[in-house]
Amino acid sequence: MSTEKSIWKKALDWHEERLPIISWIDHSLGTKYPVPRNLNYWWNFGSLAMFMLAVMIFSGIFLAMNYTPHVTLAFDSVEHIMRDVNYGWLIRYMHANGASFFFMVVYIHILRGMYYGSYKAPREVLWWIGLLIYLAMMATAFLGYVLPWGQMSFWGATVITSFFSAIPGIGDSIVTLLWGGFSVDNPTLNRFFSLHYLLPFVIVGLIFLHIWALHVPGANNPLGIDATPADKIPFFPYYVMKDVFGLAVFVVIYFTAVFWFPNALGEAVNYVKANPLQTPEHIVPEWYYLPFYAILRSIPNKLLGIIAMFGAILILFALPWLDTSRVRSGNFRPVFRIFFVVWVIDVLILGWVGAQPPEGIIPTIGLIGTLWYFGHFAVIMPVLGWVETPKPLPASISQSVLKAAE
């Protein structure tokens, strides 16, 4: 019996010979994928991000079954989802809060990469694909936020599409093309729905590339040194279990927000139907865009403001070369650690500035914060690599553990 293959194993082997999908999964995220043994909990956020993408796609598809992308019906159809559709409120709150949690997870994931130097050779392409995913997420969330057709939906859409009018010469034609008319209107809503449905699947494709690019060099680790085979353990069961544990904790927090604070991160004025004749008193984007919005507003010139705002993200693509230090992990870079924390605080301040009306001292704080943001990448990172003396690196992951035990 023990040597004899069961019928199931035989069927599986038969199938694997024709389509080796199980082996493929086993190599990608199973027993054949070796991972450094010393990953900490900051490494949980990649799998959490994948989970959130799945939640967004599932909840979104069910929302789409009851949503109507037409200017006269969109707002009412969302209210219909909230009041009449069975569990519609749950599905919508999962989706609306899901976007916020997705961004929180991805922001932590990105900061993890920045602190532990995961963008450095040989992981530059992996870093780039991650940034493309982030850009696609920003576009998706913007398009989605327009769909309920509230006041903030409408005016957010107007302001953001008008960004393109800053392009000299052809800007206005591009905006008309984006709108399909002379203002944000029904054609705009229709195409935004179409693209909002499409982009998450583009993200799924990018995630395949992301994981592929991850598997070529393998995962980085908190020490930032290359892991020897002896310092690696299989992804399944070890990290699968750890990810599942992290997921359980995360889901508790996420659903606490969905059930008890579903509107904490939203804007009340988006429960007012879009009115093309009246701009709300105070326009604010969703929290995850605020630092970039602050950068945009802090520069008193339309074109330069736009360039700075997009530049704030594009500069991250150059980070592998702007950072001239060859030590990956911030644990061994005493000066970098401080500047890293200062930069995170700077981004938080910019986020706060973005939520304030641009009056009094606010634009000045925004300008200083913007200068620091760019200075961090363009000046501090290159110079630090030359002047900083890193702490000695351990010879291997196990050596660092044995040393600590002594």
Binding site for ligand HEM (CB under 6 A): 53, 56-57, 60-61, 63-64, 67, 78, 92, 95-96, 99, 102, 137, 140-141, 144-145, 147-148, 196-197, 200, 203
* CA 14 – CA 3 distance, rounded (Å): 18
Among 218-226, 231-239, 248-256, 294-302, which window interacts with another protein (CB under 8 A)?
A: 294-302
272 touches another protein by CB under 8 A:
no
Q: How many residues does the chain have?
A: 406
Question: Which of these segments, 4-12, 132-140, 162-170, 396-404, binds another protein (CB under 8 A)?
Answer: 162-170
Using CB under 8 A as the criterion, what x/- string covers residues 190-219 for binding another protein?
-x----------------------------
Q: Which residues pair with 36 in a beta bridge?
A: 232
Q: What's the min distance (Å) between Cβ of 95 and ligand HEM?
A: 5
Least Cβ distance, residue 142 to another protein (angstroms)? 14
Q: Cβ distance 200 to 56 under 8 Å?
A: yes
The answer to whether 186 and 154 are in contact (CB under 8 A) is no
Identify which of residues 92 and 232 has a Cβ nearer to ligand HEM in the complex: 92
Taking the chain, what is the end-to-end CA distance rounded to the nearest angstrom?
49
Among residues 164 and 317, whose Cβ is nearest to another protein?
Answer: 164
DSSP state, residue 329: -
Restricting to residues 132-161, which ones interact with another protein according to CB under 8 A? 155, 158-161
Q: Which of 21, 61, 65, 177 binds another protein (CB under 8 A)?
A: 177
Q: Which stretch binds another protein (CB under 8 A): 22-30, 107-115, 184-192, 251-259?
A: 184-192
Q: Locate tokens 């969703």: which residue? A: 286
Min CB(301)–ligand HEM separation in Å? 30
Please identify, using beta-carbon distances, which residue of 279 and 324 lies nearer to another protein.
279
| Residue 273 DSSP SS3 | strand
Which stretch of DSSP H or E encloses residue 35? Answer: strand 34-36
**Does residue 4 belong to the site contacting another protein (CB under 8 A)?**
no
CA dist 29 to 55, 195, 241, Å? 20, 30, 12
Residue 187 engages another protein in binding (rule: CB under 8 A) = yes
Instruction: Work out which of 237, 276, 334, 375 binds another protein, going by CB under 8 A.
Output: 276
Tell me which of 14, 182, 260, 386 binds another protein, using CB under 8 A.
182
Number of residues that bind another protein (CB under 8 A): 35
Choose between 66 and 190: whose C-beta lies nearer to another protein: 190
Partner whose binding site includes residue 301, from ligand HEM, another protein, none (CB under 5 to 8 Å by kind) = another protein
Q: Which residues pair with 45 in a beta bridge?
A: none
The residue from 72, 228, 301, 324 that contacts another protein (CB under 8 A) is 301
Extended beta strands in 125-239, E state: 232-234
Our CA dihedral for 302, 308, 311, 312, rounded to 10 degrees, sits at: -130
Q: Are 67 and 146 in contact (CB under 8 A)?
A: no
Q: Smallest distance, Å, CB 190 to another protein?
A: 10
DSSP 231: G
Give per-residue burial for 312-344: e unless 16+ CB within 10 Å, then b.
beeebeebbebbebebbbbbbbeebeebbeebe
- Using the rule CB under 8 A, is 281 a contact of another protein? yes
Give the C-alpha separation, 260 to 240, whole Å: 30
Select the binding partner of residue 57 from another protein, ligand HEM, none (C-beta < 5 to 8 A, by kind): ligand HEM
Task: Decide: is 167 part of the binding site for another protein (CB under 8 A).
Answer: no
Least gap, CB of 404 to ligand HEM (angstroms): 41
Strands 34-36 and 232-234: antiparallel
Beta bridge partners of 90: none
Whether the Cβ atoms of residue 127 and residue 172 lie closer than 8 Å to each other: no
* Chain contacts with another protein (rule: CB under 8 A): 155, 158-163, 165, 176-183, 185, 187, 191, 276-283, 297, 300-303, 305, 358-359
